[in-house]
Amino acid sequence: MSKTTPATVALTRAGVAFELFPYDYDPDAPRVGLQAAEALGWAPEQVFKTLMTLVDAKPACVIVPSDCEVSMKKLAAALGGKSAQMMKPADAERLTGYKVGGVSPFGQRKAVPTVMDETAILFDRILINGGQRGLLLGLTPDEAARAAGAKLADLTA
């Protein structure tokens, strides 16, 4: 496994301190984020998943706790849209340059509007995907939001 990804390069360039948290990725896990939290011994609400969505047919990135589901209504409202839906996996991979299961909000091929669930600020550190399957990054919620260009909002169902 490479410890250098577009996400780690982007964070390093931005001067953001982070730690690497490699783990054994299970492609058959029903919920990859929960599997990652369990593998690393972190609380699921501190391990954030990155999802690619469409808000009014335009791409958007969403960062939410691994034990939560996104409220599409709240997501659309947070970005000033009317409706939201999940992006097809192949489209997400093409847009971000990452494989599904390894999508990071940092270092994506194309910058898109990004929203992070406001519960992130409840923690000193959170884990977010590092740009490949089996690699999470630990950083402060403030630095994560700044580096991803994310606004904070209530996003969960």
Query: What percent helix, strand, coil does the chain show, rounded to 5?
Result: 30, 30, 40
Structural domain harbouring 31: 6-153
Please report whether residue 1 resides in a domain. Answer: no
Digitized pLDDT (tens) for each residue of the chain, 157 residues in all:
568 999 999 999 999 999 999 999 988 888 888 899 999 999 999 999 999 999 999 999 999 999 999 999 999 999 999 999 999 999 999 999 999 999 999 999 999 999 999 999 999 999 999 999 999 999 999 999 999 999 999 999 8
Please report whether residue 15 resides in a domain. Answer: yes
- Report the pLDDT value the prediction gives residue 26, as an integer from 0 to 100: 86
Report yes or no: 72 and 84 within 8 Å, Cβ to Cβ.
yes
Query: Which domain CATH number covers 135?
Result: 3.90.960.10
Number of domains in the chain: 1
How many Å apart are CA 144 and CA 120, to the nearest integer? 9
Please report whether residue 136 resides in a domain. Answer: yes
Residue located via tokens 């299970």: 26
- Residue 147 tokens read as 């580096």
Please report whether residue 14 resides in a domain. Answer: yes
For the whole model, what pTM was predicted?
A: 0.94
- Report the pLDDT value the prediction gives residue 99, as an integer from 0 to 100: 94
